[in-house]
Amino acid sequence: MMAPLVQVEHLEKRFGDVRALDRVSFDVDAGEWIAIMGPSGSGKTTLINILGGLDHPSAGRVVVDGLEIGGLGERELTRYRADKIGFVFQQFHLIPYLTALENVMLAQYFHSITDEKEAAEALARVGLSDRLSHVPAELSGGEQQRVAIARALINNPKVILADEPTGNLDEANEAVVLKLLRELHDAGHTILVVTHSRAIGNLADRRIELEHGRLARIIAPSLAKD
Amino acid sequence: MFSRILWRLLGASRGRLTVALIALTSGAAICSALLNVNLDAERKLTQEFRTLGANVIVAPRTTGSDAALLDAGVVDRIEALYISAVAGVAPYLYVAASSGSQPVILAGTWFDQVAKMDSWWKIEGGWVSSRGDHDHCLVGFNAARQLGLAPGSSLQLRSGNRDISLTVAGIVTTGGAEDNQILTNLDSAQALAGLAGRASLVQISVSGTASEIESVTRKLAEALPGLDVRPVRQIAAAEGTILERIRGLLFWTIALILVLSMLGVLASMASLAMERRKDVGLMKALGGTVPRIMRLFLAEAGMLGAVGGLLGFLIGVLLARWTGERIFGVVISARLEVLPITVALTIGVALAGAFPLRLLGRVRPADILRGE
């Protein structure tokens, strides 16, 4: 039996006296789509930041693709983010003075070497082949999020971490982004999505629900429906 | 990709970078102007100093004897050395003579050289301009008063059983020994004293700083064994001190200008750093290492410094020319050696001024992405 791609064991994160995550444990298999849900302040973003190597755990163990990230220094964490993680943020977080193509190439640049053709193909995959030379200000919210998805995919990451990817989008654009996520999942990508949306939660293989920093329940929507 | 991002960075922050560029260009222009003025002014000042009289003396080594004289041919030996720093050479023969019952000192010399070396002398009447003029003399201010002489007066001098007749061309005031002497052609003095081909000493005017004068003195001493070659310390030291003070003033002025220019850059870069916190946080989240991100910003600052230095050099050349004409009354030409110095200093200032951007390396991506 294959080891899980992501292992989280007794994970704790404290900010002063506040316990943002309290002994959270779960596994994620390669190719799974996980929705992380819960009310505001339940620790969803903190969890995804730790999984993405943006923050350090206070206690517990996090292993991603065989690498225990809790003990990594800043330099190793930076390499880890470049090699294994693709981020999609609610606020899109594109560099405003770079074009769509250059925003995608920026991730290549920090990973290894840039390949303009490959970056253009990634944008074509998310339906933006006619927007390569547009800067973010010239793109709609949905288009910006699609650029962010292309950027997240460009280095073939082990895990895609999306924090409220449709939170700033209208219904039409939400549908486009969801379709993209579904396609990525079908293509075998491992996706962890922080969301408030039941619709997204129901599309996932499993829902991890947090409350007050604790793991409240893990639900497999398909089984629940059955 | 590096140059692509760099280009975009420059384009995105045009306003703030223009302010930084203006600060750098202004600083570089003043530095370039000062360096250009200094290099040319130093050369011109040393030329000016050479009109203030001799600063090296060659005399017979024997001391305590009034009869000690040297061969006037030593001047030819000095000239044969072709030392470019030697601006003038004048032999002097001092003769004790009398005008009627009044004892006087007659100094025989080459007036064409004296006119070059001592052009500052105050003359009432006219100079004796030619080395071959055997009929005229200059009379020191005190001697003229004592003997009741004025320009155009005739003068009979006697030494032993020899006489010469001279006409006073001018009354000279130097504030030195010349005020008590009568100066005439060397040949006339030698004839009066019966000392053909002899001189009491040779005065030499050497251009340069104190150390350069010392070096020429050593060279002359080696070429003239048996003679005493010595710099006139007060003059050489005073000239050296003036040049050193000018250099010191220049150094501190440039340092001050560079610091002010750096503060200007620092202010712009501090605002720029605030603007770029989010970008740096994102770049780090995407796997950008601090050195790789900082290289972008330092390259940006370096480019700014290079452009500012180049523009500043060109403006500085014009400024130096204007300053030279308006203040010193001379044309100051561009010195190419100032270009690399100005550009290097400006790049250094730009990199130092980019310090706030370097602090961005401490940005925590999680904080930025949270919106803090």
For residues B310 and A2, which has the higher predicted lDDT (pLDDT)? B310
Q: Check CB contact of A89 with chain B, cutoff 8 Å.
A: yes
Min Cα distance A127 → chain B (Å) is 22
The residue-averaged pLDDT of A18-30 equals 90
Based on the domain organization, do B349 and B209 belong to the same domain?
no
* Nearest chain A residue to B370, by CA: A45
User: DSSP states of B133-159 as a string?
Assistant: --SEEEEEHHHHHHHT--TT-EEEEEE
Which of B254-258, B269-273, B312-316, B349-353 bottoms out in mean pLDDT, i.e. has the lowest? B269-273
Contacts of B64 (CB under 8 A, 6+ apart): none
Highest mean pLDDT among B8-17, B249-258, B324-333, B351-360: B249-258
pLDDT digits (tens, 9 = 90+) for A199-212: 788 888 899 999 98
Same domain, B199 and B78: yes
Helix ranges (H only) for chain A are 44-51, 74-84, 100-111, 116-125, 141-153, 171-186, 198-203, 221-225
- Express as a percent the part of chain B with pLDDT over 90: 18
Enclosing domain of residue A79: 31-39+73-225
Confidence class of residue B273 from pLDDT cuts 50, 70 and 90? Answer: confident
User: Given B231, B250, B272, which residue is the final one in a domain?
Assistant: B231
Q: Which of B231, B255, B290 delimits the end of a domain?
A: B231
Q: What's residue A226's pLDDT?
A: 40
Do B175 and B82 belong together in one domain?
Answer: yes
B131-160 average pLDDT score: 90
Per the domain annotation, does B139 fall within a domain?
A: yes
Interface probe for A, chosen from B280, B286, B292, B368 (most Cβ of A below 10 Å), is B286
CA–CA gap between residue B68 and residue B84 (Å, rounded): 30
B144 and B41 share one domain = no
Examine residue B236 and state whether it is found in any structural domain, yes or no. Answer: no
Are residues B219 and B260 both part of a single domain? no
- Both B160 and B294 in one domain: the answer is no
Nearest CA in chain A to B13: A97
Amino acid, single-letter form, for residue B194: G
| Chain A residues in contact with B300 (beta carbon < 8 A) | none
CA–CA gap between residue A201 and residue B265 (Å, rounded): 51
- DSSP letter at B224 equals S
Q: B160 and B12, same structural domain? A: no
Residue A160 lies in a domain: yes
In a domain, B222, yes or no: yes
* Spatial separation of the C-alpha atoms in residues B306 and B308, rounded to whole Å: 5
Residue A36: per-residue pLDDT:
92
Residue B230 binned pLDDT confidence (cut-offs 50, 70, 90)? confident
B4, B8, B285 member nearest A81 (Cβ): B285
Domain that holds residue B123: 55-231
Partners of residue A110 in chain B, C-beta under 8 Å? 283, 286-289, 292
Give the closest-approach CA distance of B352 to chain A in angstroms: 25
Q: Do both B293 and B364 map to the same domain?
A: yes
**What percentage of chain B reaches a pLDDT higher than 70?**
91
pLDDT of residue A225: 47
User: Who's near B87: CB < 8 A, 6+ residues apart?
Assistant: B47, B50, B116, B117, B205, B206, B207
CA dist B184 and B138 (Å) reads 6
**B238 against B267, higher pLDDT:** B267
Look at residue A155 and tell me if it is in a domain: yes
One-letter amino acid of B150: A
Interface of A with B in 176-195 (CB under 8 A): none
ipTM value, please give it: 0.85
Asked if residue B355 has pLDDT above 90, the reply is no
Query: Coil, strand, or helix at residue A81?
Result: helix
B243 or B107, which is more confident: B107
- What was the pLDDT predicted at B331? 75
Check whether A75 has a pLDDT greater than 70: yes
Please provide the average confidence, as pLDDT, over all residues in chain B: 84
Q: Quick check: A75 contacting B, CB < 8 Å?
A: yes
Instruction: Say how many C-beta atoms besides its own lie within 10 A of residue A130's C-beta.
Output: 9
Average pLDDT, chain A: 87
pLDDT for residue B357: 79
Number of domains chain A is built from: 1
Structural domains of chain B, count: 2
Chain B residues in contact with A74 by the CB 8 A cut-off are: 290
Alpha-carbon span B243 to B256, nearest angstrom = 20
In a domain, A184, yes or no: yes
Taking residues B347-369, what's their average pLDDT?
A: 82
**C-alpha–C-alpha distance, residues A211 and A220, integer Å:** 18
* CA-based end-to-end distance of chain B: 29
Tens of pLDDT along A99-149?
Answer: 999 999 999 998 888 888 989 998 998 888 898 999 999 998 888 988 998
CATH code, A143: 3.40.50.300
Residue B46 pLDDT class (50, 70, 90 cuts): low
Q: How far is CA B299 from CA A58, B33, B146, B267, in A?
A: 38, 27, 78, 18
Specify whether B171 is located in the same domain as B220: yes
